A and B are shown apart, each in its own frame.
Chain A
Amino acid sequence: MMRFLLLFSRQGKLRLQKWFTPGAERERKKVIRDVTLMVLARPPRSCNFLQWRDLKIVYKRYASLYFCCGLEPQDNELLTLEVLHRYVELLDKYFGNVCELDIIFNFEKAYFILDEFLMGGEILETSKTAVGTAMEEAETLQETMEEYLSKPTF
């Protein structure tokens, strides 16, 4: 299973973090710092795989963002590259020519899309179109301001 998924900029600013195992806040911060430094230090045309502690790190750079995840030893690294690519495609479909700003200003949407694609560190949906459809339909449930205020509170 995937242990975590991180998105960070070339300057090392975190844009998204998804953890699939429990852990203390301090420990997570340390992991982010270590992995970010390690990945950012890699020269341009390097191999996309690293060994770190007991995990395999797979990362791919898309424009100004690094997509990086930590895998367990039995996971398939090449497939994970495809997973990262698929996630980028899903974001692109949703936002239309996605860029880093989209992910910054709509981070919650990025999480919602991720949650339709991966769950518990495993792939949830392999179809290219299903995730987009689910997002659209969920959005119809999002109330407008009026509906929102008119609904009874608890």
Chain B
Amino acid sequence: MAEVMLPLWFSHEAKELYSNQSIQEAADQDMSPSVRLQEMIRVIRGARTQGEERGVIQRECAAIRAQFRQADNGTRSHNLAKLLYVHMLGYPAHFGQMECVRLIASPRYNEKRVGYLGAMMLLDENQDASLLITNSIKNDLSHSSQYVQSLALCTLACMGSAEMCRDLAPEIDRLLRASNSYIKKKAALCAVHIVRKVPELGELFTPAARALLSEKNHGVLHGAVVLITELCERNIDTLEQFRKVVPELVQIMKGLVMSGYSPEHNVAGISDPFLQVRILRLLRILGRNNDTASDSMNDLLAQVATNTDSSKTAGSAVLYETVLTVMDIKSESGLRVLAVNILGRFLLNNDRNIRYISMTSLQKIVQTDHNAVQRHRGTIVDCLKDQDASVKRRALELSLALVSAVNIRSLMKELLLFLSSCPPELRAHTASGIFNAAERYAPSQRWHIDTILHVLTTAGGDVRDETVPNLIQLITTATDLHCYTVHKLYRALVTDISVQSLVQVACWCIGEYGDLLLTGECEETEPVQVTEDDVLDALETVLQSHMSSPATRGFALTATMKLSTRITHNVDRIRSIVSIYGSCIDVELQQRAVEYNALFKKYDHMRAAVLERMPVIDKSSPGHTNGESAGGTIKEMEPTKLTNELVLPKEPANQVCDLLDLLGGPGEPLHPTPAPSNTVKGPVMSTSGGDLLDLLGGLEVTPAPPCVKVYEKNGVTLKLQTDKQTDTGMNITLTATNSTEADITSLTLQAAVPKSVQLQMKAPSGDVIPAHGLGLVTQTVLLNNPNKVSLKMRVRVCYTSQGTLCQDMVQIDSFPSPTW
């Protein structure tokens, strides 16, 4: 800033007045009682340690206390002044409160002055002693000397309680009308304080405030404008009243803007910028939501906006207030454009302060005048690179507000760059801002995944907990990017395992899509060439590293387990890892390992199904929170069910048969129902775990689930099975199988139900039905029937068979009875 620094210097030589010698001399000659105060200050400052200072002050305070108790000897004001100095250093001074009260009541001006100062420093409305000065203030308000009146006014405005204000308001009103300028301006601000404390008293001051606008004295005018502003802000009726004075205010403002040089009020070429700013602020309040008022100030605002010289701070301050006013009232569009352009100009200013306030203002209008602000996006983004932390913060807020579908790619580049070099306190906010923007405007899934990965690599430690499940959910939906994702994440994992969020996602992906990783092929990115051992090494490193949090290790263990069905050679290695962790100190890991062990030993035939690829996770389902909570509850149920199973001795063969039936046979409706809980820690916790539970629980019920064939044509068979039925709803599963020679592709099922019934179709398990009945596609449908009408459903089946598109409609009038 090209301001002239005043010659303040801290030099002992230059100011002889305060040297030891001069103070001592003065004391010797007893020149002035205030020397005693300065002597004390000098002694206190001479103390070399905190302890020494405390000692000096204790002595002084004791002396002061003694003096307070004595009869009057002409030193009272100086003693109180000493006490106030001590108070400023941070020492207790409450014993001076009564002395303040006494001094205020004194006829001596010296004493009054210091007494009032003491009251402002030591007394506030919470002290009882403050009430005691009310009477003195009242008397002094009518004192013959304006300087005594001024003391009273100042003190009342500083620390007057609501009670004092109510008491003295009529006095203040009197002074507002009939006194000289010196008192009027003080009375005006005193009235402002009263209105703040006791808003109802605003009505009392309104007439006087109105009259003050015709004063010429700038101090009085300023006080009047402040008072009117305060009155209008608190009372709608008063606001309506004062709208009539807009022309008068405009006149005053014009006078200031066009007046010649006035040495008294001139600041850097602007005539009384303080008054100008206050008038502009009042105009803003009066013009808000009112067309007439806004119209009448339009010309003035345009004039101020164009004629004010903003090369110095004073001018910029006035321009700033003008812009705020223009944007807040009902100004015409030309004026608004002018205002935004001023802000744009401010953005390019060398002065940091001006850049800062420009961005704060732009932030306020970015919602309403979005396009106008977008024009300055380039400059705003440049401010991200500013050295100053305040400017950076503002630029970040504004950049995030400016993100749109059009500029997402280029703006995200800048934001990611910013993230890598931004101050630590802004990282979490930046990361979450980037995630929000990506979620709203991602141009493609791959871009979205890449962006999130980039953030995790750069600032993974600062992201919120939900990021991990959110990212996993996103990955599952991007089915064609699984290969790309797992290769990328594997690379990230082997580079660095310190960022927990990234490691967790990487482990999960490797567990899920490990088979894609091992093929060594990938279209979208350079694939990694790894062996099964390499992958297991990576996971084991995470398991064993001291940097991994317990949750992360859980992810790694489950991923390792999942790989047992996706790799071919090293299953034994997995078996041994899992059995080792069966005695891990961490209870969570131990429990998992024990269960996985059981899965290897007793339930090996179920392992494939249990660890199968997870279906697309539905974002809106209830369990979509941080994996921990949902996983926990289901886990608890697990072991008990297992033990139940062990206890049941009867018909083991049958049980096995049933299990086989349910799981194995072609055409049998094996339905991994989509996960109601989106735990991502392991399939044992998820649907398949649900299956396990169901299967085990359902052993009591022997018959296989009734299943109805609803469509059979071209070798495609569609069966319907009711999973659950209540009074008001039903869950069914549609299963499609294919007995032809070739795969059926692009299978889609659409359903329609009666009007009052609500239908929700979950994502299908796939859209390709393998040939020869080697596989199937399932889709769950949830029906909600609050009115209990008779349920009917129409299903449209579309698919491509051997190149031809087939489409059929099926009516379902009755549903089979549900399974268990």
Contact = CB atoms under 8 A, between A and B. Distances in A.
B523 interface: no
A77 B313 CA distance: 10
Given A63-B10, A79-B317, A105-B38, A119 B190 contact: yes
B33 A145 contact: yes
Contacts of B74: 145, 148-149
A31 interface: no
Nearest to A118: B189
A130 B218 CA distance: 11
B88 A99 contact: no
B390 A78 contact: no
B472 interface: no
A108 to B, nearest CB: 6
A154 B154 CA distance: 24
B107 interface: yes
Nearest to A103: B8
Nearest to A104: B41
B256 to A, nearest CB: 11
B264 A154 contact: no
Contacts of A47: 352-353, 355-356, 388, 390-391
A9 B819 CA distance: 81
Contacts of B352: 45-48
A18 to B, nearest CB: 8
Interface in A126-153: 126-130, 134, 137-138, 141-143, 145, 148-149, 151-153
Nearest to A127: B264
A130 to B, nearest CB: 7
Interface in B278-336: 278, 281, 313-314, 316-317, 320-321
Contacts of B267: 82, 86
Contacts of B106: 153-154
Nearest to B114: A108
A119 B389 contact: no
A37 interface: no
Interface in A75-118: 76-79, 81-83, 85-86, 88-89, 92, 97-102, 104-105, 107-108, 111-112, 115
A143 B109 contact: yes
B339 interface: no
Contacts of A34: none
Given A49-B356, A79-B274, A143-B108, A99 B390 contact: no
B147 interface: yes
B773 interface: no
Nearest to B107: A151
Interface string B338-367: 000000000000001111110000000000
A111 B158 CA distance: 13
Interface in B177-223: 182, 185-186, 189-190, 192-193, 196, 218-219, 222-223
B159 interface: yes
B237 interface: no
B264 A129 contact: yes
Contacts of B265: 126-128
Interface string B144-160: 01010010011001110
Interface string A11-22: 000111100101
Given A62-B8, A148-B108, A81 B353 contact: yes
Contact of B218 (A49, A86, A120, A127): A127
Contacts of B421: none
B18 A101 contact: yes
B223 A78 contact: no
A148 to B, nearest CB: 6
Contacts of B117: 108, 111-112
Contact of A142 (B8, B109, B154): B109
Size class of the contact patch on chain A:
35 or more
A77 B154 contact: no
Contacts of B113: 112, 138, 142
B159 A83 contact: no
Given A89-B6, A99-B11, A148-B108, A125 B219 contact: yes
A128 B272 CA distance: 10
Nearest to A147: B108
A141 B389 CA distance: 50
Nearest to B102: A154
Contact of B182 (A46, A83, A98, A134): A134
A141 B147 contact: yes
Chain A residues touching B, majority SS: mixed
Contact of B6 (A15, A78, A92, A143): A92
A81 B125 CA distance: 30
A66 B432 CA distance: 36
A71 interface: no
Interface residues of B, number: 89
A78 B320 contact: yes
B81 interface: yes
Given A83-B274, A120-B157, A120-B189, A141 B126 contact: no
B317 A130 contact: no
B70 to A, nearest CB: 12
A123 B189 CA distance: 9
A62 B5 CA distance: 7
B7 interface: yes
A37 B8 CA distance: 23
B14 A99 contact: yes
Given A62-B5, A115-B154, A120-B158, A82 B388 contact: no
A102 B17 CA distance: 9
A76 B185 CA distance: 21
B10 A126 contact: no
B186 A119 contact: yes
Given A47-B353, A97-B7, A142-B110, A24 B81 contact: no
A126 B11 contact: no
Given A82-B274, A125-B219, A120 B193 contact: yes
B767 to A, nearest CB: 53
Given A14-B88, A82-B314, A125-B185, A22 B126 contact: yes
B611 interface: no
B818 to A, nearest CB: 58
B390 A46 contact: yes
A65 B10 CA distance: 10
A137 B180 CA distance: 15
Contacts of B275: 126
B272 to A, nearest CB: 5
A81 B313 contact: yes
Given A119-B154, A126-B272, A141 B8 contact: no
B429 to A, nearest CB: 13
B51 interface: no
B107 A76 contact: no
A78 B264 contact: no
Interface in A1-59: 14-17, 20, 22-24, 29, 43, 45-51
A127 B185 CA distance: 12
B90 interface: yes
Contacts of A126: 218-219, 222, 265, 272, 274-275
Interface centre among A47, A89, A108 (most CB of B within 10 A): A47
A84 to B, nearest CB: 11
Contacts of B317: 76, 78-79, 81-82
Interface centre among A92, A98, A120, A130 (most CB of B within 10 A): A120
Nearest to B197: A22
B147 A137 contact: yes
Contacts of A124: 185-186, 189, 219, 222-223
Interface in B1-44: 3, 5-12, 14-15, 17-18, 32-33, 38, 41-42
14 contacts: A24-B126, A49-B353, A51-B390, A79-B317, A100-B10, A120-B192, A125-B222, A126-B274, A127-B264, A137-B147, A138-B109, A142-B113, A145-B33, A154-B105
Given A126-B272, A143-B109, A154-B105, 5 more contacts: A129-B264, A138-B113, A141-B145, A151-B107, A154-B106
Q: Which 9 A-B pairs have the closest CB atoms?
A: A63-B8, A78-B317, A79-B317, A120-B157, A47-B352, A22-B124, A47-B390, A141-B109, A119-B189
